[in-house]
Structure 1
Protein backbone atom coordinates (compact mmCIF):
# COMPACT_ATOMS: atom_id res chain seq x y z
CA UNK A 1 0.00 0.00 0.00
CA UNK A 2 2.91 2.40 0.43
CA UNK A 3 2.86 3.31 -3.29
CA UNK A 4 -0.82 4.33 -3.22
CA UNK A 5 -2.09 7.63 -1.86
CA UNK A 6 -5.02 6.34 0.20
CA UNK A 7 -6.90 9.66 -0.08
CA UNK A 8 -6.81 9.23 -3.86
CA UNK A 9 -7.72 5.54 -3.70
CA UNK A 10 -10.87 5.85 -1.58
CA UNK A 11 -13.38 7.83 -3.62
CA UNK A 12 -17.06 8.17 -2.84
CA UNK A 13 -17.65 6.26 -6.08
CA UNK A 14 -17.34 2.59 -6.97
CA UNK A 15 -13.75 1.40 -7.39
CA UNK A 16 -12.83 0.50 -10.96
CA UNK A 17 -9.84 -1.76 -10.34
CA UNK A 18 -10.32 -4.73 -12.66
CA UNK A 19 -10.64 -5.22 -16.43
CA UNK A 20 -10.22 -8.30 -18.61
CA UNK A 21 -11.47 -9.78 -21.88
CA UNK A 22 -13.73 -12.80 -22.29
CA UNK A 23 -11.55 -15.68 -23.50
CA UNK A 24 -12.83 -18.07 -26.19
CA UNK A 25 -12.36 -21.06 -23.86
CA UNK A 26 -14.80 -19.44 -21.39
CA UNK A 27 -17.75 -19.91 -23.75
CA UNK A 28 -20.26 -22.67 -23.11
CA UNK A 29 -22.45 -24.68 -25.48
CA UNK A 30 -24.87 -21.72 -25.67
CA UNK A 31 -22.15 -19.55 -27.21
CA UNK A 32 -21.85 -17.12 -24.29
CA UNK A 33 -19.61 -16.88 -21.22
CA UNK A 34 -20.21 -19.82 -18.88
CA UNK A 35 -21.42 -19.03 -15.36
CA UNK A 36 -18.19 -20.34 -13.82
CA UNK A 37 -16.18 -17.61 -15.55
CA UNK A 38 -18.40 -14.84 -14.22
CA UNK A 39 -17.36 -16.13 -10.79
CA UNK A 40 -13.70 -16.07 -11.91
CA UNK A 41 -13.89 -12.48 -13.17
CA UNK A 42 -15.61 -11.36 -9.96
CA UNK A 43 -12.97 -13.23 -7.94
CA UNK A 44 -10.25 -11.33 -9.83
CA UNK A 45 -12.08 -8.08 -8.95
CA UNK A 46 -12.24 -9.14 -5.28
CA UNK A 47 -8.49 -9.81 -5.36
CA UNK A 48 -7.93 -6.29 -6.71
CA UNK A 49 -9.92 -4.80 -3.82
CA UNK A 50 -8.06 -7.01 -1.31
CA UNK A 51 -4.75 -5.83 -2.77
CA UNK A 52 -5.88 -2.20 -2.47
CA UNK A 53 -6.73 -2.56 1.22
CA UNK A 54 -3.60 -4.66 1.88
CA UNK A 55 -5.36 -7.98 2.50
CA UNK A 56 -4.21 -9.69 -0.71
CA UNK A 57 -1.45 -12.18 -1.48
CA UNK A 58 1.33 -10.03 0.04
CA UNK A 59 -0.60 -9.89 3.32
CA UNK A 60 -0.98 -13.69 3.40
CA UNK A 61 2.75 -14.13 2.74
CA UNK A 62 3.82 -11.94 5.68
CA UNK A 63 1.14 -12.88 8.23
CA UNK A 64 -1.07 -15.71 9.45
CA UNK A 65 -4.24 -13.97 8.25
CA UNK A 66 -6.33 -14.35 5.13
CA UNK A 67 -9.78 -13.60 3.78
CA UNK A 68 -12.36 -16.32 3.14
CA UNK A 69 -15.66 -15.93 1.27
CA UNK A 70 -18.56 -17.43 3.22
CA UNK A 71 -21.47 -16.45 0.99
CA UNK A 72 -21.87 -15.29 -2.59
CA UNK A 73 -24.73 -14.30 -4.87
CA UNK A 74 -24.63 -13.53 -8.60
CA UNK A 75 -27.28 -12.14 -10.92
CA UNK A 76 -26.84 -12.46 -14.67
CA UNK A 77 -28.34 -9.64 -16.72
CA UNK A 78 -26.76 -9.75 -20.21
CA UNK A 79 -24.78 -12.21 -22.30
CA UNK A 80 -21.14 -11.64 -23.23
CA UNK A 81 -19.05 -13.41 -25.86
CA UNK A 82 -15.41 -14.10 -26.70
CA UNK A 83 -13.33 -10.95 -26.97
CA UNK A 84 -15.79 -8.71 -25.12
CA UNK A 85 -13.86 -6.33 -22.85
CA UNK A 86 -15.15 -6.36 -19.26
CA UNK A 87 -14.89 -3.77 -16.51
CA UNK A 88 -15.83 -4.47 -12.89
CA UNK A 89 -16.79 -1.72 -10.46
CA UNK A 90 -16.61 -2.60 -6.77
CA UNK A 91 -18.00 -1.25 -3.51
CA UNK A 92 -17.75 -2.05 0.16
CA UNK A 93 -21.36 -2.30 1.37
CA UNK A 94 -20.70 -3.13 5.01
CA UNK A 95 -18.00 -3.80 7.57
CA UNK A 96 -18.02 -4.94 11.21
CA UNK A 97 -14.40 -5.55 12.25
CA UNK A 98 -14.14 -9.20 11.16
CA UNK A 99 -16.49 -9.33 8.16
CA UNK A 100 -17.17 -7.18 5.14
CA UNK A 101 -19.44 -7.27 2.12
CA UNK A 102 -18.03 -6.60 -1.35
CA UNK A 103 -20.43 -5.78 -4.16
CA UNK A 104 -19.33 -5.89 -7.80
CA UNK A 105 -21.04 -4.89 -11.04
CA UNK A 106 -19.68 -6.11 -14.39
CA UNK A 107 -19.97 -3.96 -17.50
CA UNK A 108 -18.61 -4.14 -21.01
CA UNK A 109 -15.57 -1.87 -20.82
CA UNK A 110 -17.15 0.69 -23.14
CA UNK A 111 -20.71 0.56 -21.77
CA UNK A 112 -22.90 1.41 -18.81
CA UNK A 113 -25.26 -1.59 -18.95
CA UNK A 114 -24.80 -4.03 -16.07
CA UNK A 115 -23.83 -7.47 -17.40
CA UNK A 116 -23.87 -9.20 -14.00
CA UNK A 117 -23.67 -8.37 -10.31
CA UNK A 118 -21.96 -10.20 -7.46
CA UNK A 119 -22.21 -9.78 -3.70
CA UNK A 120 -19.83 -11.61 -1.36
CA UNK A 121 -19.52 -11.90 2.41
CA UNK A 122 -15.85 -12.01 3.37
CA UNK A 123 -14.33 -12.90 6.72
CA UNK A 124 -10.89 -12.33 8.08
CA UNK A 125 -9.42 -15.63 9.31
CA UNK A 126 -6.37 -16.51 11.39
CA UNK A 127 -4.89 -19.41 9.40
CA UNK A 128 -3.24 -20.94 12.48
CA UNK A 129 -6.59 -21.43 14.24
CA UNK A 130 -8.84 -21.44 11.14
CA UNK A 131 -11.19 -19.10 13.03
CA UNK A 132 -12.40 -15.58 12.37
CA UNK A 133 -10.17 -12.86 13.75
CA UNK A 134 -10.26 -9.07 13.89
CA UNK A 135 -8.86 -7.37 10.82
CA UNK A 136 -5.50 -5.60 11.07
CA UNK A 137 -5.94 -1.95 12.07
CA UNK A 138 -4.81 -0.43 8.77
CA UNK A 139 -7.05 -2.69 6.66
CA UNK A 140 -9.97 -2.12 9.03
CA UNK A 141 -9.53 1.65 8.70
CA UNK A 142 -9.48 1.38 4.90
CA UNK A 143 -12.59 -0.81 4.87
CA UNK A 144 -14.37 1.52 7.27
CA UNK A 145 -13.45 4.49 5.06
CA UNK A 146 -14.66 2.78 1.89
CA UNK A 147 -17.87 1.52 3.54
CA UNK A 148 -18.65 5.05 4.76
CA UNK A 149 -17.96 6.63 1.37
CA UNK A 150 -19.75 3.92 -0.62
CA UNK A 151 -22.64 4.10 1.87
CA UNK A 152 -23.39 7.62 0.60
CA UNK A 153 -24.13 6.20 -2.85
CA UNK A 154 -27.60 4.88 -3.72
CA UNK A 155 -28.01 1.27 -2.59
CA UNK A 156 -27.43 -1.01 -5.61
CA UNK A 157 -30.76 -2.47 -6.73
CA UNK A 158 -29.21 -5.92 -7.15
CA UNK A 159 -27.69 -6.05 -3.65
CA UNK A 160 -29.27 -8.13 -0.91
CA UNK A 161 -31.27 -10.35 -3.24
CA UNK A 162 -32.32 -13.88 -2.45
CA UNK A 163 -33.44 -16.64 -4.79
CA UNK A 164 -37.21 -17.10 -4.76
CA UNK A 165 -40.07 -18.12 -7.02
CA UNK A 166 -42.43 -15.82 -5.12
CA UNK A 167 -43.14 -12.20 -6.05
CA UNK A 168 -42.00 -12.42 -9.65
CA UNK A 169 -42.15 -9.30 -11.80
CA UNK A 170 -45.53 -8.72 -13.48
CA UNK A 171 -45.52 -10.43 -16.86
CA UNK A 172 -42.50 -12.62 -16.06
CA UNK A 173 -42.84 -16.29 -16.83
Structure 2
Protein backbone atom coordinates (compact mmCIF):
# COMPACT_ATOMS: atom_id res chain seq x y z
CA UNK A 1 0.00 0.00 0.00
CA UNK A 2 1.37 3.39 -0.90
CA UNK A 3 0.31 6.82 0.29
CA UNK A 4 -1.55 7.26 -3.00
CA UNK A 5 -3.76 4.26 -2.25
CA UNK A 6 -4.81 5.74 1.05
CA UNK A 7 -4.96 9.37 -0.08
CA UNK A 8 -8.50 10.54 0.37
CA UNK A 9 -9.23 7.79 2.89
CA UNK A 10 -11.99 8.69 5.32
CA UNK A 11 -10.81 10.21 8.61
CA UNK A 12 -10.16 7.52 11.20
CA UNK A 13 -9.62 4.75 8.68
CA UNK A 14 -5.81 5.09 8.63
CA UNK A 15 -3.72 4.67 11.77
CA UNK A 16 0.03 5.35 12.01
CA UNK A 17 2.48 3.89 14.53
CA UNK A 18 6.05 2.88 15.24
CA UNK A 19 7.36 -0.46 16.53
CA UNK A 20 8.55 0.14 20.09
CA UNK A 21 11.58 -1.63 21.67
CA UNK A 22 9.38 -3.45 24.20
CA UNK A 23 7.40 -5.02 21.34
CA UNK A 24 10.40 -7.01 20.08
CA UNK A 25 10.48 -10.76 20.74
CA UNK A 26 13.25 -13.37 20.89
CA UNK A 27 13.39 -13.47 17.08
CA UNK A 28 14.29 -9.78 16.90
CA UNK A 29 11.02 -8.64 15.33
CA UNK A 30 7.60 -7.43 16.47
CA UNK A 31 5.91 -9.97 18.72
CA UNK A 32 2.59 -11.45 17.60
CA UNK A 33 0.67 -9.90 20.53
CA UNK A 34 1.66 -6.37 19.52
CA UNK A 35 0.28 -6.78 16.02
CA UNK A 36 -3.15 -7.30 17.57
CA UNK A 37 -2.61 -4.34 19.88
CA UNK A 38 -1.72 -2.13 16.90
CA UNK A 39 -4.87 -3.27 15.07
CA UNK A 40 -6.87 -2.53 18.23
CA UNK A 41 -5.48 1.04 18.26
CA UNK A 42 -6.60 1.39 14.63
CA UNK A 43 -10.06 0.22 15.70
CA UNK A 44 -10.08 2.92 18.40
CA UNK A 45 -9.34 5.53 15.73
CA UNK A 46 -12.20 4.21 13.58
CA UNK A 47 -14.74 4.15 16.41
CA UNK A 48 -13.81 7.71 17.38
CA UNK A 49 -14.18 8.83 13.75
CA UNK A 50 -17.71 7.42 13.46
CA UNK A 51 -18.83 9.02 16.71
CA UNK A 52 -18.62 5.97 18.96
CA UNK A 53 -16.23 7.81 21.28
CA UNK A 54 -15.48 6.99 24.91
CA UNK A 55 -17.75 9.87 26.00
CA UNK A 56 -20.59 8.69 23.73
CA UNK A 57 -20.26 5.12 25.01
CA UNK A 58 -20.35 6.28 28.63
CA UNK A 59 -23.34 8.59 28.09
CA UNK A 60 -25.34 5.97 26.15
CA UNK A 61 -24.18 2.84 27.99
CA UNK A 62 -23.03 1.30 24.74
CA UNK A 63 -19.87 -0.26 23.42
CA UNK A 64 -18.48 -2.82 21.04
CA UNK A 65 -17.17 -6.33 21.58
CA UNK A 66 -14.82 -8.00 19.14
CA UNK A 67 -16.19 -11.55 18.89
CA UNK A 68 -13.79 -12.99 16.30
CA UNK A 69 -10.39 -11.98 14.94
CA UNK A 70 -8.24 -13.46 12.18
CA UNK A 71 -4.64 -12.29 11.80
CA UNK A 72 -2.31 -13.05 8.91
CA UNK A 73 1.36 -12.19 8.79
CA UNK A 74 3.42 -11.26 5.77
CA UNK A 75 6.67 -9.38 6.30
CA UNK A 76 8.15 -8.81 9.71
CA UNK A 77 8.40 -5.41 11.35
CA UNK A 78 11.58 -4.44 13.19
CA UNK A 79 12.23 -2.10 16.09
CA UNK A 80 11.78 1.53 15.15
CA UNK A 81 9.99 0.84 11.86
CA UNK A 82 6.91 2.88 11.14
CA UNK A 83 3.70 1.27 9.99
CA UNK A 84 0.26 2.32 8.86
CA UNK A 85 -3.00 0.46 9.14
CA UNK A 86 -5.84 1.11 6.71
CA UNK A 87 -9.22 -0.21 7.84
CA UNK A 88 -12.29 -0.76 5.72
CA UNK A 89 -15.84 -1.86 6.41
CA UNK A 90 -16.62 -5.12 4.63
CA UNK A 91 -20.15 -5.42 5.97
CA UNK A 92 -22.59 -3.92 8.43
CA UNK A 93 -26.04 -4.87 9.66
CA UNK A 94 -28.08 -3.62 12.58
CA UNK A 95 -25.82 -5.02 15.29
CA UNK A 96 -22.74 -6.49 13.56
CA UNK A 97 -19.74 -4.92 11.90
CA UNK A 98 -17.26 -6.81 9.69
CA UNK A 99 -13.93 -5.00 9.35
CA UNK A 100 -10.72 -5.69 7.46
CA UNK A 101 -7.46 -3.91 8.21
CA UNK A 102 -4.15 -4.03 6.37
CA UNK A 103 -0.85 -3.13 8.06
CA UNK A 104 2.01 -1.97 5.84
CA UNK A 105 5.52 -0.80 6.56
CA UNK A 106 5.56 2.98 6.27
CA UNK A 107 8.92 3.09 4.51
CA UNK A 108 8.13 0.95 1.48
CA UNK A 109 4.42 0.08 1.72
CA UNK A 110 5.06 -3.66 1.93
CA UNK A 111 2.23 -5.54 3.65
CA UNK A 112 3.20 -6.79 7.09
CA UNK A 113 -0.08 -8.18 8.41
CA UNK A 114 -3.85 -8.18 8.06
CA UNK A 115 -6.61 -8.35 10.62
CA UNK A 116 -10.23 -9.28 10.04
CA UNK A 117 -12.71 -8.62 12.86
CA UNK A 118 -16.34 -9.37 13.58
CA UNK A 119 -17.72 -6.87 16.07
CA UNK A 120 -20.99 -6.60 17.97
CA UNK A 121 -22.53 -3.34 19.15
CA UNK A 122 -23.48 -3.79 22.80
CA UNK A 123 -25.93 -2.43 25.33
CA UNK A 124 -23.53 -2.33 28.27
CA UNK A 125 -26.27 -2.27 30.92
CA UNK A 126 -27.99 -5.39 29.60
CA UNK A 127 -24.63 -6.86 28.44
CA UNK A 128 -26.32 -7.95 25.23
CA UNK A 129 -26.00 -7.04 21.60
CA UNK A 130 -28.05 -4.05 20.50
CA UNK A 131 -28.64 -2.12 17.28
CA UNK A 132 -26.12 0.55 16.31
CA UNK A 133 -27.51 4.07 16.85
CA UNK A 134 -28.85 5.49 13.57
CA UNK A 135 -26.14 8.14 13.03
CA UNK A 136 -23.33 5.65 13.68
CA UNK A 137 -24.96 3.02 11.48
CA UNK A 138 -25.31 5.61 8.70
CA UNK A 139 -21.61 6.51 8.97
CA UNK A 140 -20.60 2.83 8.84
CA UNK A 141 -22.78 2.25 5.78
CA UNK A 142 -21.15 5.27 4.16
CA UNK A 143 -17.70 3.79 4.87
CA UNK A 144 -18.78 0.41 3.50
CA UNK A 145 -20.02 1.99 0.27
CA UNK A 146 -16.81 4.02 -0.08
CA UNK A 147 -14.59 0.92 0.24
CA UNK A 148 -12.75 -0.20 -2.88
CA UNK A 149 -14.29 -3.05 -4.90
CA UNK A 150 -13.18 -6.59 -4.23
CA UNK A 151 -12.98 -8.29 -0.87
CA UNK A 152 -9.31 -8.78 0.10
CA UNK A 153 -8.07 -12.35 -0.50
CA UNK A 154 -7.16 -12.73 3.18
CA UNK A 155 -10.75 -12.06 4.29
CA UNK A 156 -12.88 -15.05 5.19
CA UNK A 157 -9.97 -17.47 5.34
CA UNK A 158 -10.04 -20.46 7.61
CA UNK A 159 -7.21 -22.24 9.31
CA UNK A 160 -6.59 -25.98 9.24
CA UNK A 161 -4.47 -28.83 8.01
CA UNK A 162 -7.15 -30.43 5.88
CA UNK A 163 -7.47 -34.20 5.86
CA UNK A 164 -3.78 -34.89 6.32
CA UNK A 165 -2.95 -36.95 9.41
CA UNK A 166 0.39 -37.59 11.07
CA UNK A 167 0.76 -40.79 13.09
Distance 1:52 1:110 in 2: 26
TM-score normalised according to structure 1 size: 0.85
Distance 2:138 2:9 in 1: 13
Offset, 1:15: 3.0
Distance 1:84 1:153 in 2: 30
SS at match of 2:79: coil
Offset, 1:57: 1.4
| 1:50-89 equivalence runs, <5 A | 50-89=47-86
Structure 2 residue 137 is the aligned partner of structure 1 residue 113 = no
Offset, 1:10: 4.1
Q: Any gaps of 5 or more consecutive residues in structure 2?
A: 1-7
Distance 1:9 1:163 in 2: 31
Moved over 6 A (4+): none
TM-score normalised according to structure 2 size: 0.88
| 1:121-132 equivalence runs, <5 A | 121-132=118-129
Is the CA contact (8 Å cut-off) linking 1:10 and 1:145 kept in structure 2?
A: no
Is the CA contact (8 Å cut-off) linking 1:46 and 1:102 kept in structure 2?
A: no
SS at match of 1:79: coil
Offset, 1:79: 0.7
Distance 1:46 1:88 in 2: 10
Root-mean-square deviation over aligned CA pairs = 1.8
Number of the residue aligned with 2:101: 104
SS at match of 2:108: coil
What is the aligned length?
Answer: 156
Distance 1:49 1:66 in 2: 13
Is the CA contact (8 Å cut-off) linking 1:23 and 1:82 kept in structure 2?
A: yes
